[in-house]
Structure 1
Amino acid sequence: MYSNKKWEIDFAGVLANDGEVSTGRNTIILNRNNNLQFYIRLISTPPKNFPRQVKDVCGYTDDLSNFSFYDDKTLPENERKEALRNFLDRYILIFHIELKKRDGIKEYHIARNIRVVRKNDSFRPNTILEPVPVFSEETTNRTKNVFEQQLYSRKYIGDNKQVSKDDDDTPSIILWKDSQENDAYTLYGWFEKHENALGGFKFHPFNNQVKWLPLNVNYIFESYTHEELLFMDSNLHEELQEVLEENGEPLIREEEPIKGEQSYSYGYSKMEQVTKDEELESVDKEKEFMDSFVTECKIMGLYYDTKDLYNFHTAMKTGSLVILAGMSGTGKSKLVQAYTRALKLSKDQSKLIPVRPFWKDDADVIGYLDTLNNVYRPGDSGLMSTLIRANEYEDDLHIVCFDEMNLARVEHYFSQFLSILETDDKHDMQLYDEEYGAKIYNQHIFPSSLTIGKNVIFVGTVNLDETTYPFSDKVLDRANVITLNMRPYNEILKMEEERLEELSKLNKQTKKEESTTTNKRKNSVTFDIYSSFKSKEQKISLLTEESTFLWELDKALKGCNRNIGVGWRILRQISVFLNNLPKDSPLSREEAFDIQLVQRILTKIRGSEEQFMELLGRYNLDTKEVEDSKFLELLSEMPMAYKFTQAKNLIKEKAKELRLHGHTI
């Protein structure tokens, strides 16, 4: 029995060499049906949802019949193989991929819909190609002027079926092909995220500004075009992004806005700007909340450094997924409870969900449609009750904590919520197909889709041991992974005395309030108050030395593995974190930047000694120091104020793992 999955977008590859095929087979074989089959080495950057370990796929000569290849079966086997090799060696192959899984065990990745493009003279065996979507008047039914104005106005610009639509695969640049001149292309970028709907793609540019420039024809000659897609050498792709940044012209709105119509602007409206008094009031309220949070931690016996608490709070309010990691028994779940108590949330506003190892998809969490009895059956986690309440009480803040969330694969049961974390506003979560709505008896409670607002914050706790699953890059791209560190035991005795003092004060205060306070939520932190803690700055506002460092680090990471790096999402999240440090935070900007390297980037460095030795360096067992580390070299080029204490410690730890185990753990 087979179960299938298809990637109906374009990949690029070349005929693999003998010895490169993952199964150990020769690159061209004669199968039991007397047909030739061959193995293609992938050379294009795949979508994030494609398995990272798959480096080659199988192709069949039947797909080549349209390209003047004929397999003469009267010839000896070796001559048939040689003829096929001579044919394929001349071409870049473009194809879709189908996964066939037999009996749920053995997997086969097969190339489908194969097309061929002749190799350029500049092609080298180590070439990596980046897919760049191409739009035109023929494919979008728009003129170039309309296309540019819709691109400028953040509207849908038309579809492209040859590239991934997944949230993780936003192309940094796109092209417009002139219908009059074959080799005339215009380049637009940079883009940090996108949306896709019936109207096709909608792109969101970095720094809220689209830049453009005419593409030099030499870039086209050195690339491989097929219909609505251009495959470009990764080195040229990086070079082109730099050229666009330095020489690109800002895209502007040509026509004047109609009288009475809102004008388009890359800035933010006056309604989004808070007054000086409001800012000061927000700072006071956040300080009051943090004092309460620190006190709650003391009362609950959580002996964490104050800097860790500010790190946790800053990560929580920026809206991304927060994952608390560490040894079992270090108080990760209790820290979330302390946070909800400091916010003075009711039981209905917070939910602790123990993750079950058998969860396979989001139906185990949110429920499923019972078509036999025409009812929607919510999951037994209780999550749906919290989400429905959050939808009804938009002024209330809600916190959902997944306890031991990596007992099951997060990207499976948490898939819809990962998409929600990408949006800046509300997001509709699909429960079941709308066409069933009228038939479902409890559809008034569980509609076909449920709006999830920003008044719901997701947080998780994890134990990192052999009983749990590692996080995929899709999860790590959206998460702040905070490893909690215990205070030295000799400090805990003093902190225990402080805890008893706080308990004594609390008991006295409680007795005074018992006669007058009947509802704990009376003084709870509302969603509006919590939102006021957040910075209104939306642009990426890294310092020059920070952005330069991250760009160099991105190149170094891609040199180890083309599927990892510092993407636009991570760049934006780091900037948002730095912008949201509370005014009285004990964390300096330099310390916070160090923390973000650890929580956003170093978590993704997982692999073998061959991959990461040059980047991380070699751990000297005698001196217990790291030598010849590209990462440490980049850190040393930053200003002296950046100590990078945490990053250096983690680099040392990972380099040691490479030395002792041959891979990072």
Structure 2
Amino acid sequence: MKTYPQNILNQIKENYILGVLADENESFPNLGDDSSPITYASQMNDIIFYIKPLSQEPKEIREVEQNSFNMAPYYIGFANRFFNNSFNNYNYTINERIDSLRKKLKNKLILFKPVLKVDEKRERYHKNIDEIVIEEDDWIYDMEYHAVPNIQMTRQEFEKALINQEAIDLKQYNHAMPAPLFLMCENHIYGNIKENQWRIDSSKSNSARILISPSTIKRIELTDTEYIEKIVSEREAIVFVEEPFLMETISERIEKEGVSGDEWKNEWMDTPSGETTFTDEVVHGYSQVREVSSNELREIDFIKELDLRAKERKLVYAKTDLINFHASVKSSALTILTGQSGIGKTQLATLYGETLGLSQDNDTMLILPVSPAYTEPGDILGYLNPTTGLYMPAETGLVDFLRSADENENQVHMLIMEEMNLSQIEHYFSPFISLLELEEKNRLLKLYSEGAVCHNNQTYKPSIRLRDNLIIVGTMNMDETTKDLSDRLLDRANVVVLEKRSFKEIKDELLMTKDNPTINKNIGAEDAYGQLYMSWRSKKDSWEALSDKELEFFDELDKSISKVDPLKGFSIRNIMRMGTYLNNIPVDIEDSYQIESREAVDLFIKQRVITKIRGPVETYESLIGTLRTSEETPDGQLYKLFDSDKAKEISDFTKTKIDLSRKARELFANGYAT
């Protein structure tokens, strides 16, 4: 039996459902003395009645129904709770009281709040009723209704909020309900809305949502006659509209006559610089309408937003690290964040996802803490049970997350593997490592054999495609409790080592952010960033990023390494990855968030090539050299190459030489470089 926290149960009963007394010919649970829609229950000493829902129900209630074999579709009401007149007048017989209640309820629309009640003893749920209202309108046989949030704002305020992607408070239709497909404000209905356009904003209330890509929305105006005849049970913040009228007549009118977002602004907005506009653009091979500002929502704005969000949480990262991490994520199937314990590796990865509008609530981000007990892929994925014939997904939730990414290819998904080297990555993560370098069409993650018997194969198919919309970021600590990374993994991942800032630098930057009133988050922009992310990935050929002079230098670097260890040279894969990385460095025309090409080359060499140069002094002394003190410079071949005049034409290789010096000190002190 699945359990729901109390806050979810409380949310459920804040909503409204429209219903009708159940039909006499239907079957009911054995709660009363007979099988009738209104019956006396001797064990409760009460009259109970069954209400059939006619409008949307909370998601958790639908989930309980789907997972319960014998749960009735009706809601149960108790006369003693709701009625204080002749229905409970004990001067009348039970049958007279039942007849009186039947006359009151029969063929009437009944508005109520749903209650999901837990029966822990019997391990089951019951659907009950709260705050019942009997409407004056009669029910039209077979008619169903659609609950539409009625926005308590002026139409101009509402439309501005939509365009600016501000949170809209959907009172009386909160997060427990399915995402609304229509909205109402004043006497206008807004449609052409999809469920996946909504993002929950729990920071404001349990009914606040943000509508992304509002350019698709259109509105029409209802006539007075339509309003009177087709809308029933109007409440402060919700109305109920006849389903056929809404889904057929209104939907058709919205498609043909609907007024779009651009036209809203012409009605009530001035056009100052910086206004929001909509423009057509080809994104990732598809023609899409995306929302931009007149200043253009640039990629660099996303990095600035990420920086501000970090500082809000008292985290200060070097701008170079933020840009490097961003470019690494765009250009590599796997990015690994490492650095001093407590520096904020997981927080940076999480903030990156949140700034893109991703969250664990909407299944677009998954934080997976790695356990030392993971020894094989089944520990994080799951397995096909040969006894039951059922695929059993692991408790990590990874399979369902990957299914979501596969089924929603235009929505970015981010997997964060926390402390991923607590167990041997090459063991539990081996299928992913093999697939990371393949083209999307060939990246099929096998869950079980195609010919195997799997009874739930409609949900869990034999394989899942790992699409380009999947971002994988791992975090690592390097100590005695962790496992080393193999060359095979290092050849497929960017390893970003976060710089430790001085305490004074951290204090100064946090104070500057706090004291500067002009620094504000761009509220709601994360959804636009998420929409644009795929278009930020460069389509340029990786070889175009590198000059002949650079290629000649890297050939020399490869020869130097290969003489010592042929398996650790500068591979063709790495030179192509370097080109892709360089192509994905964003350009900031203001130069405040900028990595020059020379610095980017240095960063890539350090995190993709030098990471593999490790081993015993007997093998690597000539290549790395040894250092007794920090004042000296290594006498190894690599340091001399990166310090040469030929190298300085390409980059100063500052970070690369610092890392080589560290390895040289380790060789002298420990006889082994890591």
If the length of structure 1 is used for normalisation, what is the TM-score?
Answer: 0.54
Q: 1:546 deviation in Å? A: 1.7
Task: Give the unaligned 5+ runs of structure 2.
Answer: 1-281
Amino acid at match of 1:296: R
Amino acid at match of 1:453: R
Report if the CA contact (8 A) 1:545-1:638 is conserved: no
Amino acid at match of 1:469: K
Match of 1:450 in 2: 464
Say if 1:279 and 1:638 are closer, same or farther in 2 by CA, change over 3 A. Answer: farther
**Partners of 2:316 and 2:376 in 1: CA distance:** 36
Q: Structure 1 residue 648 and structure 2 residue 657: aligned?
A: yes
**Partners of 1:407 and 1:301 in 2: CA distance:** 27
**Partners of 1:446 and 1:521 in 2: CA distance:** 35
Would you say how many aligned residue pairs link Structure 1 and Structure 2? 383
Any residues of structure 2 matched to 1:146-157 within 5 Å, and which? Answer: none
Any residues of structure 2 matched to 1:80-99 within 5 Å, and which? Answer: none
Indicate the SS of the match to 1:445. Answer: coil
Match of 1:466 in 2: 480
Pick aligned residue for 2:497 from 483, 494, 499: 483
Report if the CA contact (8 A) 1:333-1:403 is conserved: yes
**Partners of 1:344 and 1:406 in 2: CA distance:** 28
Q: 1:319 deviation in Å? A: 3.2
**Partners of 1:539 and 1:371 in 2: CA distance:** 46
Amino acid at match of 1:533: W
Pick aligned residue for 2:438 from 399, 423, 426: 423
**Partners of 1:622 and 1:388 in 2: CA distance:** 51
Q: Deviations over 1:383-417 (max 9, x none)?
A: 11211111222221100000000011111111111
**Partners of 1:300 and 1:270 in 2: CA distance:** 33
Amino acid at match of 2:538: S
Indicate the SS of the match to 1:322. Answer: strand
Say if 1:505 and 1:564 are closer, same or farther in 2 by CA, change over 3 A. Answer: closer
**Partners of 1:474 and 1:489 in 2: CA distance:** 37
Indicate the SS of the match to 1:345. Answer: coil
**Partners of 1:318 and 1:469 in 2: CA distance:** 25
Indicate the SS of the match to 2:504. Answer: helix
Q: 1:631 deviation in Å? A: 3.6
Q: 1:280 deviation in Å? A: 12
**Partners of 2:470 and 2:576 in 1: CA distance:** 21
**Partners of 1:350 and 1:271 in 2: CA distance:** 21
Say if 1:554 and 1:641 are closer, same or farther in 2 by CA, change over 3 A. Answer: closer
Amino acid at match of 2:586: P
Q: Deviations over 1:195-235 (max 9, x none)?
A: xxxxxxxxxxxxxxxxxxxxxxxxxxxxxxxxxxxxxxxxx
**Partners of 1:552 and 1:452 in 2: CA distance:** 36
Q: Deviations over 1:16-42 (max 9, x none)?
A: xxxxxxxxxxxxxxxxxxxxxxxxxxx
Say if 1:282 and 1:533 are closer, same or farther in 2 by CA, change over 3 A. Answer: farther
Say if 1:539 and 1:272 are closer, same or farther in 2 by CA, change over 3 A. Answer: farther
**Partners of 1:354 and 1:285 in 2: CA distance:** 33
**Partners of 2:548 and 2:459 in 1: CA distance:** 51
Say if 1:432 and 1:461 are closer, same or farther in 2 by CA, change over 3 A. Answer: same
Amino acid at match of 2:320: K
**Partners of 1:320 and 1:270 in 2: CA distance:** 20
Q: Deviations over 1:32-74 (max 9, x none)?
A: xxxxxxxxxxxxxxxxxxxxxxxxxxxxxxxxxxxxxxxxxxx
Say if 1:278 and 1:607 are closer, same or farther in 2 by CA, change over 3 A. Answer: farther
Task: Give the unaligned 5+ runs of structure 1.
Answer: 1-268, 511-519
Q: Structure 1 residue 621 and structure 2 residue 624: aligned?
A: no
Q: Structure 1 residue 664 and structure 2 residue 673: aligned?
A: yes
Q: 1:623 deviation in Å? A: 4.3
Q: 1:616 deviation in Å? A: 1.3
**Partners of 1:587 and 1:317 in 2: CA distance:** 15
Indicate the SS of the match to 2:489. Answer: helix
Which one has the largest radius of gyration?
2
Indicate the SS of the match to 2:451. Answer: helix
Q: Deviations over 1:307-347 (max 9, x none)?
A: 11000000011132100011221110000111012111132
Indicate the SS of the match to 2:342. Answer: coil
Pick aligned residue for 1:343 from 332, 356, 359: 356
Q: 1:382 deviation in Å? A: 1.0
Q: 1:284 deviation in Å? A: 4.2
Q: Structure 1 residue 535 and structure 2 residue 549: aligned?
A: no
Say if 1:492 and 1:627 are closer, same or farther in 2 by CA, change over 3 A. Answer: same
If the length of structure 2 is used for normalisation, what is the TM-score?
Answer: 0.53
Amino acid at match of 2:613: I
**Partners of 2:385 and 2:284 in 1: CA distance:** 46
Q: Deviations over 1:159-185 (max 9, x none)?
A: xxxxxxxxxxxxxxxxxxxxxxxxxxx
**Partners of 1:479 and 1:302 in 2: CA distance:** 25
Say if 1:573 and 1:280 are closer, same or farther in 2 by CA, change over 3 A. Answer: farther
**Partners of 2:336 and 2:583 in 1: CA distance:** 20
Report if the CA contact (8 A) 1:299-1:502 is conserved: no
Pick aligned residue for 1:332 from 329, 337, 345: 345
Any residues of structure 2 matched to 1:203-242 within 5 Å, and which? Answer: none
CA RMSD of aligned residues (A): 3.0
Amino acid at match of 2:415: V
Amino acid at match of 1:430: K
Report if the CA contact (8 A) 2:367-2:416 is conserved: yes
Q: Structure 1 residue 610 and structure 2 residue 623: aligned?
A: no
Report if the CA contact (8 A) 1:297-1:303 is conserved: yes
Q: 1:419 deviation in Å? A: 2.5
Q: 1:355 deviation in Å? A: 0.3
**Partners of 1:572 and 1:664 in 2: CA distance:** 27
Pick aligned residue for 2:425 from 381, 396, 410: 410
Question: Structure 1 runs of 4+ off > 6 angstroms?
Answer: 269-275, 277-283, 502-505
**Partners of 2:295 and 2:463 in 1: CA distance:** 34
Match of 1:48 in 2: none
**Partners of 2:571 and 2:422 in 1: CA distance:** 28
Q: 1:274 deviation in Å? A: 11
Say if 1:454 and 1:417 are closer, same or farther in 2 by CA, change over 3 A. Answer: same
Match of 1:258 in 2: none
Match of 1:311 in 2: 324
Report if the CA contact (8 A) 1:387-1:452 is conserved: yes
**Partners of 1:352 and 1:270 in 2: CA distance:** 28
Report if the CA contact (8 A) 2:445-2:465 is conserved: yes
**Partners of 2:326 and 2:454 in 1: CA distance:** 41
Match of 1:548 in 2: 552
Match of 2:223 in 1: none
Any residues of structure 2 matched to 1:38-437 within 5 Å, and which? Answer: 284-347=297-360, 348-426=363-441, 427-436=443-452
Q: 1:432 deviation in Å? A: 0.3
Say if 1:521 and 1:366 are closer, same or farther in 2 by CA, change over 3 A. Answer: farther
Indicate the SS of the match to 2:456. Answer: coil
Identity of paired residues, percent?
A: 32
Say if 1:622 and 1:412 are closer, same or farther in 2 by CA, change over 3 A. Answer: closer
Say if 1:587 and 1:283 are closer, same or farther in 2 by CA, change over 3 A. Answer: farther
Match of 2:580 in 1: 576
Amino acid at match of 2:552: T
Q: 1:483 deviation in Å? A: 0.7
Say if 1:273 and 1:583 are closer, same or farther in 2 by CA, change over 3 A. Answer: farther
Report if the CA contact (8 A) 1:283-1:583 is conserved: no
